[in-house]
Structure 1
Amino acid sequence: MNGNIIISWNNIYLEAVRRLGGAPGPLSRMGAMMHIAMFDAINILCDGSYEQYTKSNIEKIEGADPIMSAAYAARKVLLETIEELIKQTVKNQGGVPSPFAAYQVNTGFDADSFLRDCMTPFNMPLSAANCDPSRQFGEAVAKAILTERENDGSQNPPPSPMLCNGSSNRNTDTVPKCFGYEAGDWRETGSGPAVTPQWGRVKSMGRWDRDRIDEFLPTTALNIKEFDTYEKLLKSRDYVGQFDEVRRLGEAHSTERTREETEIAFFWANDLDGTYKPPGQLYVITQTVAKQEGTIEDLLETARLFALVGIAMADAAIVAWYVKYLFPNEECPIRLWRPESAIREADRDRNRNTLLDPNWQPLSAMVDGTRFSPAFPAYISGHATFGAAHATMMRLYYGRDSIAFTATTEDPHALRDENGIKLTRRFTSFTEAARENGRSRVYLGVHYQWDAEGGFESGSKVAEYAFNSVLKQQAEHYQTSTSVTAKTTNEPVTV
């Protein structure tokens, strides 16, 4: 049995993301849960070559088909996670949609109708579930992962962030609610209030305990021990260099940014609703590589690959958002302002080497051309963390980094060829793509280079841990064949 069913449901998930919209954390959680459910359903029915992800004791059901069971599992997970996210969004927004579309959830999305239509090509009825062993088993597997994640912290409503009015008092019960009091601290830039500030407290998908998060935090990009206050950070020579680079290369109409750098900026963006978002772009790369490397010929291996990638990206979001809002000290974190704020308010940083430009705008833009910065702190870059987690997981799964592939984009501003077709980009390794992904955010004008470096470090760490911790091959099924060693060994692999 081949893995086409995994590709098909990955595409269904991507289409749901386009229609639903939203922030990277919830969307990556949704994709990981769907692919975990598909993996567990297939793995259990195929004699359990690998460790089951969920802790539930799920019994096989006579007559259940692995492919159909996986599809029913995927549908149930998507339906319930989408409906849960819509309910949370309506509650958090008081029923009033945000006017800003970059991370707005489409609360009118009819997930049930959408997913019913998706079942038709598979000839999968949605009536008489008790009479269909595949549906019964698949939904039991879905229920297991849904139950396991129902109190994972993602359902907690975010605090209500606000700008300080001159008071230095900080409420630190969950996430500091007071933004923008000091120069250097993140503040709204016109693209909406802080997005998912609670996400750094969500339970890991890769099975690491909360008290181990320090293992995944960046240590080299920005010396946070030396720059543990905004005053120290903004007066540093390092800050001046980071500031000046993005000021020159990331400005909307920069004359120093090359055409290829502009191409790179928009190629990796995919921030806007209507696109498959950053996790979706990386899932499509996974599809491309799975097909060209022949992984798709094996149903279980395809399911495992996508589940591992999903887990890595879900944890990348958790760690990145922890660093954005809670690092290095949860009571007094460094929540770095976006370049847009830094450059427009350079007269506040007490550093005579930074150049004030009150009219500076980033290259990043909405569909209508309105310039914007993502509505959350700069350090670390979510794109860079996702990209590194994906690259590391792909490298560890395939046992090598140097696999060439061509990637695509859905960003509406992506550059096009003479026929109006969006340009693709060719890479010789996973790491090359991840590095370019992180660098693109400087060209887009929404990040500093140390945001990219810190994200690469953290993303690599979470993926390595997940690969060594979940979905490992059972000892009785261990094989030493060189064709499968990189994908089946229980021996830890280090970066």
Structure 2
Amino acid sequence: MRRASYLLILGLVALAVGAPARADAGHQGAETAAAWNELALDAVRVTRATDANATRLYAILNVAMYDAVNGITGERSAALVTGSGHGDPRAAAVAAAHAVLVRLDPDRTAAYDARRDADLAGIHPAHRRNAGARWGAHVGETVVAARADDGSSPPQSQPAGAGPGVFRAEWSGTQYRDVRPFAVADPGAHVPGPPPALDSLDYAAAFAEVALLGNAAIPAPDKLATYQYWSLPAGSVQPAGEWLRIALGVTTDRHLSLDRTVRLLALLGMASADTTVATVRTKYQYRHWRPTTAIREADTDGNPYTQPDPAWAARAGSAGGTPEYVSGHSSYSAAGATVLAGFFCADGIGFTHTTDSAPGGVPRSYPGFAAAAAEAGRSRVFGGQHFEFSNQVGLAVGRGVAREVLAGSLLTVDGPTHIGECPR
């Protein structure tokens, strides 16, 4: 159905049902932003998207909603689309989200159309709703078009490697090492130095730890449960999506307005997407072997303090499908935690959460964002998927990307942009 036709129908519906109460319009707008993100999360689950593809979708969606709303309120710098719009900000957010999802996930167009129509039908007066919807649709279309040539396709792979210290399997998605960032100036600036040398004491210490904690042959129900809680395999919302879900829960609890909600989600989306670039580039550059290979072939590493165990298997049940250094779960988690702490100017905001892969759907409670990120990173050692140095460096990568995004993105146009270290 063409835009003019459905807007005319929505106007007739509005006349028939009458205008709803406006007292909670800001809260309704925040709920609308959350609802469209839930649709994106469902799309990632259904399509079994990779972590890189998922973060790109989340970023595009939330940048579009932010620029649509901000183009009307005009209080902050744009993420991607400059210019001024008119009309109802909530209608703009709805139309922008719809424009993104029907283009990036066309198989569910009917569901997105239905959600758009239902959301717009509840917004009055009609002339402000229609103007906002036109602007939002324009912004959404513009953001998708602007990212069409960002380097995320066609898919590329790195061939399987050989020899001590080298990841053995071919892995796909390596084109993301060169994807155009959303907010950071140079993702390469966040690529860390190399992992410890195979013959070093630091490597031997990390080797010994994961060989014990991540060993499937040693029963450790608590370690297994923590690994599973944060494992987030294909068919889940992926690690960045889980931090998006955490953000949605916190914003709902704190009753944020629409403009604050879309700003937080855009910051989170951009930081996660740019973390992807730095993470994939690091993995591609160093192509470090996973603990399973390292432990089974320790007699080849030249280190007198590592002992081979040809039968060793990871608690996770698999070796891992990408190079080991750095841990992507760690980098995404640190990026998410850093954005949330920076946005609220406080890390110690407690929350209870259930991930997509939580055993038995049992929730966990955390005293703050950094504590959850630390557990997420540590879970990769418990699963036998990563060495601790890859967890720690991954956390540093995510923090660094997020801090750059916070320091320079979506800030106020007039007046001071920071309260201390907290971006406004």
TMscore range, shorter length: 0.7 to 0.9
Which of 67, 90, 101 is 1:67 aligned to?
A: 90
Which of 112, 119, 122 is 1:115 aligned to?
A: 112
**2:146 equivalent in structure 1:** 148
**1:449 equivalent in structure 2:** 388
Task: Determine the C-alpha separation between the residues in 2 that align with 1:236 and 1:263.
Answer: 32
**1:410 equivalent in structure 2:** 356
Tell me whether 1:358 sits opposite 2:310 in the alignment: yes
Which of 279, 286, 294 is 1:320 aligned to?
A: 279
Residue 437 of structure 1 deviates from its aligned partner by 0.7
Task: Determine the C-alpha separation between the residues in 2 that align with 1:293 and 1:10.
Answer: 17
Please show how residues 48-447 of structure 1 align to structure 2 within 5 Å: 48-56=74-82, 58-61=83-86, 64-82=87-105, 110-119=107-116, 121-122=118-119, 132-159=130-157, 161-162=158-159, 179-188=160-169, 193-209=170-186, 213-214=188-189, 216-218=190-192, 224=195, 227=196, 233-255=197-219, 257=220, 259-273=221-235, 275-295=236-256, 298-326=257-285, 334-364=286-316, 371-411=317-357, 414-416=358-360, 422-447=361-386
Residue 117 of structure 1 deviates from its aligned partner by 4.4
Q: RMSD over aligned Cα, in angstroms?
A: 2.3
Residue 379 of structure 1 deviates from its aligned partner by 0.6
In structure 2, do the counterparts of structure 1 residues 27 and 279 end up closer, same or farther at CA, with 3 Å as the change threshold?
same
Report the AA paired with residue 79 of structure 2. Answer: Y
| Secondary structure of the structure 1 residue equivalent to 2:165 | coil
Alignment check: 8 A CA contact 1:235 1:351 kept:
yes
| Secondary structure of the structure 2 residue equivalent to 1:198 | helix
Task: Determine the C-alpha separation between the residues in 2 that align with 1:70 and 1:124.
Answer: 14
In structure 2, do the counterparts of structure 1 residues 373 and 208 end up closer, same or farther at CA, with 3 Å as the change threshold?
same
In structure 2, do the counterparts of structure 1 residues 242 and 271 end up closer, same or farther at CA, with 3 Å as the change threshold?
same
**2:32 equivalent in structure 1:** 5
Q: Which contiguous aligned blocks of 4+ residues in structure 1 show a shift greater than 6 angstroms?
A: none
Superposition TM-score, scaled by structure 1 size: 0.74
Task: Determine the C-alpha separation between the residues in 2 that align with 1:187 and 1:82.
Answer: 33
Residue 471 of structure 1 deviates from its aligned partner by 0.6
Residue 25 of structure 1 deviates from its aligned partner by 1.1
Alignment check: 8 A CA contact 2:91 2:130 kept:
no
Q: Tell me, which stretches of 5 or more residues in structure 1 are unaligned? A: 84-109, 126-130, 163-178, 228-232, 327-333, 365-370, 417-421, 479-487
Considering fraction of residues, name the structure with more helix. 2
Task: Determine the C-alpha separation between the residues in 2 that align with 1:124 and 1:491.
Answer: 42
| Secondary structure of the structure 1 residue equivalent to 2:59 | helix
In structure 2, do the counterparts of structure 1 residues 380 and 475 end up closer, same or farther at CA, with 3 Å as the change threshold?
same
Task: Determine the C-alpha separation between the residues in 2 that align with 1:113 and 1:378.
Answer: 40
Superposition TM-score, scaled by structure 2 size: 0.86
Alignment check: 8 A CA contact 1:281 1:408 kept:
no
Task: Determine the C-alpha separation between the residues in 2 that align with 1:468 and 1:120.
Answer: 37
Alignment check: 8 A CA contact 2:343 2:422 kept:
no
Residue 124 of structure 1 deviates from its aligned partner by 6.0
Residue 235 of structure 1 deviates from its aligned partner by 1.4
Task: Determine the C-alpha separation between the residues in 1 that align with 2:359 and 2:154.
Answer: 39
Residue 302 of structure 1 deviates from its aligned partner by 0.7
Residue 372 of structure 1 deviates from its aligned partner by 1.9
In structure 2, do the counterparts of structure 1 residues 493 and 301 end up closer, same or farther at CA, with 3 Å as the change threshold?
closer
Residue 195 of structure 1 deviates from its aligned partner by 2.7
Report the AA paired with residue 78 of structure 2. Answer: Q
Number of paired residues?
390
Report the AA paired with residue 243 of structure 1. Answer: F
Alignment check: 8 A CA contact 1:42 1:300 kept:
yes
* 1:22-59 per-position Cα deviation (integer Å, ceiling 9, x unaligned): 2111110110110010011111122x111111244x34
Task: Determine the C-alpha separation between the residues in 2 that align with 1:15 and 1:406.
Answer: 21
Task: Determine the C-alpha separation between the residues in 1 that align with 2:118 and 2:281.
Answer: 41
* 1:429-475 per-position Cα deviation (integer Å, ceiling 9, x unaligned): 11111111100000111111111100111100110100111110111
Report the AA paired with residue 265 of structure 2. Answer: F
Alignment check: 8 A CA contact 1:401 1:431 kept:
yes
Residue 347 of structure 1 deviates from its aligned partner by 2.9
| Secondary structure of the structure 2 residue equivalent to 1:406 | strand
Residue 311 of structure 1 deviates from its aligned partner by 1.0
Tell me whether 1:470 sits opposite 2:414 in the alignment: no
Residue 120 of structure 1 deviates from its aligned partner by 5.3
| Secondary structure of the structure 2 residue equivalent to 1:136 | helix
Alignment check: 8 A CA contact 2:210 2:381 kept:
yes
**2:16 equivalent in structure 1:** none
| Secondary structure of the structure 1 residue equivalent to 2:174 | coil
**1:368 equivalent in structure 2:** none
| Secondary structure of the structure 1 residue equivalent to 2:247 | helix
Query: Which stretch of the first structure deviates more once superposed, 66-75 or 449-458?
Result: 66-75
Task: Determine the C-alpha separation between the residues in 2 that align with 1:111 and 1:340.
Answer: 40
Task: Determine the C-alpha separation between the residues in 1 that align with 2:104 and 2:289.
Answer: 32
| Secondary structure of the structure 1 residue equivalent to 2:352 | strand
Residue 345 of structure 1 deviates from its aligned partner by 2.2
Task: Determine the C-alpha separation between the residues in 2 that align with 1:341 and 1:463.
Answer: 32
